[in-house]
Amino acid sequence: MGLLDRLRSAISGPRLIDELAILAGQSEGLVNRLRRHAERALYLGIAQGVREIAEKEAAHEKTLRHILAEHGLWPRPTEEVPHEGSNVWERLSGDLAILLAFAQELHRHAMRWEGENPELGETLKKIADEASDDEFELRRLVAKLDPQALD
């Protein structure tokens, strides 16, 4: 990175690709959480549903890793470890919040990439849309665990 690049980065903030590395790290952490929580789920149907969501999100993580590798970067792990939860409902509710925030941020990021690299912007939009679908499915699974949702 040359002097001008450093100055430009200092003035304009982090580059889009650096922000994508942060999102990829969040995706990686989410996939690990979902897999771990699927193993601890008491009901087979819930566990299977969470595993399926984890595998879909793992495909997204793989795509993000590939994009970053083309730019010589790797996913940045998150600095803060979210609370695990004391029961299945609390763990999956935490996963749901992380997935929702990830999908929203990825949608915003996709729009920002449209001006820089339309093809990459479209890929990110597709991942964000699929993550939103996964968020809906996880929300449905969490609702099955919440005793208040059965009223």
Rounded Cα gap, residues 76 and 119, in angstroms: 23
pLDDT tops 60 at residue 32:
yes
Query: Model's pTM, two decimal places?
Result: 0.85
> What is the helix (H) or strand (E) element at residue 149, kind and residue range?
none
Per-residue pLDDT reduced to its tens digit, 77-128: 887 777 788 889 999 999 999 999 999 999 999 999 998 899 999 999 999 9
Q: What is the pLDDT of residue 5?
A: 56
Instruction: Judge contact between 31 and 52, C-beta under 8 A.
Output: no
DSSP string, 71-98: TT--PPPPSSPPP--SSHHHHHHHHHHH
